[in-house]
């Protein structure tokens, strides 16, 4: 996602607009358009909502100030084969690099799984840092982030990579929030744990005692499985956010999503840092 920033005194949601987004999964595109077309109608015109980033000419993207992006986590995840940049999906980072190099946004915000820091004995993360800092010349900071530190009842450890083209920008990580709810609140009944397991895509309905279990809970003494209703709450989505897809696809999209509160907290501080530097 690429966006403009506007007046520093306006609420964050009103002082920015998205000018470009890219999503290759057809069903995820349906969800994205369903929820955002009424907010940013121009985003869905003139190929601003791109399908395949490998086919996008960065020069064609409208100028913007903040780039928010992730690249497929499967090559680096503990649940995947850990092939890193030997997996073709790992090369999606190179297309993000090209957009940054050509458009030179004021700030960048990248996200990935925590395991990326240790992949290939640290060589993968070293390569990423070298590109961002020494090739693209951004002043970078790296943060280990948990959704549970931002009010949500889910650990979901991730790495946030935040950088500024102007090395004089002062950025501080947001303060941690107390839990806004626990898993009993999520289910509306007594659950055997306060903070939930990290939402995933594969391994659904593993035995509750199995280490691969992530969707099974003991609720009022009975085994229950997460549905998209509970998963949406755990990820911090607003009540009016809709998934106009099947239940299994909604769970897949939620498992692939970011924790909304965590991203909001960091983006708000990026806005403030850029505004204070003007």
Query: Where do the structural domains in the chain lie, given as residue ranges?
Result: 2-169+258-276
- 3-class secondary-structure state, position 222: strand
Tell me, what DSSP letter sits at residue 203?
A: -
**Fold annotation for 2-169+258-276:** Rossmann fold (3.40.50)
For 271, counting Cβ atoms within 10 Å of its Cβ (0-12 exposed, 13-18 middle, 19+ buried), the class is buried
CB 193 within 8 A of CB 217: yes
Please tell me the total number of residues recorded for the chain in this structure.
Answer: 278
CB 152 within 8 A of CB 182: no
Q: Which regions of the chain does DSSP assign to beta strands (E)?
A: 2-5, 16-22, 49-50, 66-70, 107-113, 139-145, 158-164, 216-219, 222-225
CA torsion through residues 33, 38, 41, 43, sign? negative
Give the other-Cβ count within 10 Å of 223's Cβ.
Answer: 10
pTM of the model: 0.88
* pLDDT by 10s per residue, the chain, length 278: 655 544 333 344 456 889 999 999 999 999 999 999 999 999 998 889 999 999 999 999 999 999 999 887 555 554 555 555 555 345 688 899 999 999 999 999 999 999 889 887 888 888 889 999 999 999 999 999 999 999 999 999 999 999 999 999 999 999 999 999 999 999 999 999 999 999 999 888 999 999 999 999 999 999 999 999 999 999 999 999 999 999 999 999 999 999 999 999 999 999 999 998 87
- Number of helical (H) and strand (E) elements in the chain, helices listed first: 7, 9
CB 109 within 8 A of CB 159: no
Q: Which residues are catalytic?
A: 73
φ/ψ of 268, rounded to 5, equals -60, -40
């Amino acid at each position: 996602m690429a966006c403009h920033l506007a007046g520093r005194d306006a609420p964050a949601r009103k002082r920015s607009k998205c000018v470009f987004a890219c999503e290759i999964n057809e069903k995820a595109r349906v969800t994205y358009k369903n929820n955002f077309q009424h907010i940013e109608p121009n985003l869905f015109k003139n190929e601003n909502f791109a399908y395949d980033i490998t086919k996008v000419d960065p020069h064609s993207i409208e100028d913007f100030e903040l780039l928010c992006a992730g690249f497929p986590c499967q090559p680096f995840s503990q649940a995947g084969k850990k092939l890193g940049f030997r997996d073709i999906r790992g090369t999606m980072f190179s297309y993000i690099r090209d957009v940054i190099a050509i458009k030179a946004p004021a700030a960048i915000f990248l996200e990935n799984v925590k395991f990326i820091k240790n992949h290939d004995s640290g060589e993968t993360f070293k390569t990423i840092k070298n590109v961002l800092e020494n090739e693209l010349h951004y002043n970078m900071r790296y943060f280990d982030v948990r959704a549970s530190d931002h009010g949500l009842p889910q650990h979901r450890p991730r790495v946030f990579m935040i950088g500024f083209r102007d090395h004089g920008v002062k950025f501080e990580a947001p303060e941690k929030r107390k839990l806004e709810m626990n898993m009993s609140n999520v289910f509306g009944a007594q659950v055997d744990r306060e903070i939930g397991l990290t939402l995933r895509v594969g391994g659904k309905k593993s035995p509750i005692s199995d280490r691969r279990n992530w969707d099974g809970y003991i609720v009022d003494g009975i085994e229950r499985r997460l549905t998209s209703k509970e998963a949406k709450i755990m990820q911090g989505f607003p009540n009016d956010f809709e998934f106009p897809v099947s239940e299994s696809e909604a769970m897949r999209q939620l498992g692939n999503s970011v924790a909304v509160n965590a991203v909001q907290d960091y983006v708000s501080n990026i806005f403030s840092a850029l505004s204070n530097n003007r």
